[in-house]
Amino acid sequence: MRNDITRRDALALGLSAATFAATGAAAQTSTIKAADVPTPKREIEKGATLRMLRPVRFVQADEDVFRANAAKFTKETGVEVKVDFVGWEDINQQTAVTSNSGAGPDIIIGFSDAPHIYIDKLVELTDVADYLGKRYGGWLPLAQRYGKKNKSDAWIGLPFGATAGPLIYRKSILQSVGFDKVPEDHAGILDLCQKLHKAGKPAGFALGNAKGDGNGFANWALWSHNASLLDEEGNVIINSKETIAALNWVKQIYPTFIAGTTSWNDVSNNRAYSSQEISLTANGVSLYFSLKNDPATKAIADDSEHQLLPKGLAKVSPMAGLTLNAMLFKHSQYPNAAKAFLQFMLEKDQYEPWLNANSGYWSQPLAAYAEAAVWKGDPKVSIFKDTMNSTYYDGYKGPISTATGAVSADYVLIQMCSAVATGAATPEAAAAEAEQRCKRYFRRQR
Amino acid sequence: MSVTTLSSSALAHRQPSWLVRLFDYKPFLIVMCLAPAIGLLTVFLTYPLGLGIWLAFTDTTIGRRGVYVGLENFQYLLTDPLWWNAVFYSVVYTGIATFGKFALGFWLALLLNNHFPFKSLLRAIILLPWIVPTVLSALAFWWIYDPQFSIISYLLVDVLHWRSSNIDFLGSPWPARFSLIAANIWRGIPFVAISLLAGLQTISPSLYEAAMLDGASAWQRFRYITFPMMMPILAIVMTFSIIFTFTDFQLVYAITRGGPGNSTHLLATLAFQRGIAGGELGEGAAIAVSMIPFLVFATLFSYFGLARRKWQQGEDND
């Protein structure tokens, strides 16, 4: 089996010039080590065809390389693979319909906790995961957390990568108010934000119903105060003294933000930062790249730095990653072909070019891919390399379940913070209300 | 010319086919004529409504078949401050928006009922907010209300220098609530205006001529001719408007998604949030079902309060 992809192959497969620039060189200078592990024995079903659904690409090269890899699989195995790209907001609904109806795509790449929601409808992928783990230096903690069934070594999802939302700030503006970087402690962050506000270039963190950024801020506020939604056993402990402390801090810091953050959605901070209205926020690498690739805003990118979310009271930066998580449905007529396809896509010859093509937007779930070329280029991107080393996740620090996803999708924690920030509720009242809502979601999860 | 006639006995023996006789059978014919309509209603109305009501009595979640739980969902909602908040805002939203739409829509209809140049063109333009897809107008309002890039803030701060800072339309509960109501009024005015204009044009000019001969003022003509004559159409339009407004979803979901602090959730958006995004299908269905009594009440109020006013039917009609 021929597994390498050369420059000529890439061109033949129709990759764009941009994709090629991002991936071609890297593929030829790979330093990624792959252990010699026996490939799981499975026979691909005769006449197999596959249909796959995955979230729409963020950078064009993501789609180009992904499609090229799928075409390569078809060429080598004869299995036709149809890949559909759908909007991020639509993936959950389409997965729900597929799951409930028992018809539709064989494979869906959903987000983070999706396999835990549809666990009864999924084929175990333990053999694929074990093989890949042994071959590529092991699965990183976040990949294990989202890929494995709770309290078990059975894999129900196969993580493809994760994206994170660390801090991004204007170096020159922070320096102008006496800071080289964002402090790691809450008092220091508050002090910085007050000074930025005074200087007319405030911070801004989403407190509106923003799936990514809003939940990111709310989780960070809680986790950095050692508060969490659940304990290890899955009991709802959101109404705790740690949460009250976090909410009090949110109440203090909110007035230093630019006005309107309680109505921000996922693109609001990008716009505010790009237009130089704010000097500090949290976002994925996309913001940096959009600034860097536009001559009109390149100067802002040059003046920007990334930093892991401050630790506060936590031991490590409390930052979870939004994970791409592949699911194979039991209704698939060709489970062996599907497993072979997923395995193929995560093999070095396919995965590394894809990882590089994403320019840091997705980071690897397997340890060996930390050596990919994408992490050796722009130092401002390398911070994203360890996204899947995080021990934090939606539902931290309890077991992942349908309810952990529901709390995030229903913006329960964001609204708790927002209610306190705007003075609509006291920290105690907001925490109690969030507890009531969370207990409702978790009433059948234990 | 010879004429051939059938004997009376032959006529008597010639029976129509069973199919003809079947279709001549009145009860069968009624059933056949009604069957398509009943079928459509069953498939597209009764089944979804029935399923929704059934789900409201179960604990179904996305990805998990539920079991019957009786009134548990409704009992929970009664203890849920967010549901009460959604009920409150749904009523406020519907009340204020409907009043605004009718006041402005009626006024606009009266203006459009006059003769003026380019009348048809202007009437077509008035319809634009109604024609534009709701999500598109919601996105436009989302930009208008943006805390950093609002055109209104730009005018007031950068052009007119009347304010020193941008307006935070959606950042706190009441401004956000009124911002959404304003968007709904803007969107709903054309429907009211055009519907009422159609009604205005059915009023006979002779009534106004007679009133003018009797020396009635403009207000009296409006009070004693226009308004009473418009009552039936007002009642129908208001009933529809209340239903549309109370069940509004797109404007709110696209602009605030129920925020800030869940203050702008309508029952429809809360039902979606809980049922689809949150995955609690049973609870979401219960929230949707909880809208029915409000809608029935609003419809009955509108119907009995406006359409069946006694004075419309004559003083002696008891």
DSSP letters for A201-222 = --B----SS-TTHHHHHHHHHH
Angle at CA A256, nearest 5°, toward A251 and A261? 80
Most confident of A126-140, B2-16, B128-142: A126-140
Contact A406 B259 (CB under 8 A): no
B277 Cα to chain A: minimum distance (Å): 6
B2 has pLDDT over 80? no
Band (pLDDT 50/70/90 cuts) for residue B4 is low
pLDDT of residue A10: 37
pLDDT of residue B318: 45
pTM above 0.90, yes or no: no
Whether the ω angle into residue A376 lies within 30 degrees of 0, i.e. cis, is: no
**φ, ψ at A162 (rounded to 5°):** -145, 155
Contact A258 B280 (CB under 8 A): no
Band (pLDDT 50/70/90 cuts) for residue B20 is confident
B146 Cα to chain A: minimum distance (Å): 8
Q: Which of B51, B60, B62, B154 to mutate to test the interface with A (most CBs of A within 10 A)?
A: B62
Q: Any chain B CB within 8 A of the CB of A100?
A: yes
pLDDT of residue A223: 97
B195 has pLDDT over 80? yes
Locate B314 and state its tokens.
């004559």
Q: Quick check: helix, strand or coil at residue A230? A: strand
B131 Cα to chain A: minimum distance (Å): 26
pLDDT of residue B143: 93
Q: Any chain B CB within 8 A of the CB of A93?
A: yes
Facing B165 at nearest CB: one of A208, A209, A259: A259
- pLDDT averaged over every residue in chain B: 88
Residue B78 neighbours by CB under 8 Å, 6+ apart: none
Q: Which residues of chain A have pLDDT under 50?
A: 1-27
pLDDT of residue B180: 97
B256 Cα to chain A: minimum distance (Å): 7
- Between the CA atoms of A280, A283, A286 and A291, what dihedral angle is there, to the nearest 10 degrees? -10
Band (pLDDT 50/70/90 cuts) for residue B9 is low
**Predicted complex ipTM:** 0.82
Residue A216 neighbours by CB under 8 Å, 6+ apart: A165, A206, A282, A319, A320
Angle at CA A410, nearest 5°, toward A93 and A255? 135
Q: Which of A88, A91, A262, A417 to mutate to test the interface with B (most CBs of B within 10 A)?
A: A262
pLDDT of residue A211: 78
Per-window interface: A 232-291 vs B, CB < 8 A = 258-265, 268, 271-272, 275, 277
Average the pLDDT over B232-251 and give the result.
Answer: 90
Amino acid, single-letter form, for residue A84: D
Residues of A whose CB is below 8 A from B279: 96, 117, 402, 405-406, 409
Residues of A whose CB is below 8 A from B62: 96, 99-100, 117, 402
Counting residues of chain B whose pLDDT is more than 70, the rounded percentage is 91
B310 has pLDDT over 90? no
pLDDT of residue A17: 38
Contact A410 B273 (CB under 8 A): yes
Crossing angle (nearest 10°) for helices A126-135 and A335-346 = 20
Distances (CA, A) of B284 to A186, B77, B281: 38, 10, 5
Average the pLDDT over B289-317 and give the result.
Answer: 72
Residue B71 neighbours by CB under 8 Å, 6+ apart: B57
pLDDT of residue B11: 54
Q: Which of B166, B172, B252, B255 to mutate to test the interface with A (most CBs of A within 10 A)?
A: B172
Contact A260 B257 (CB under 8 A): no
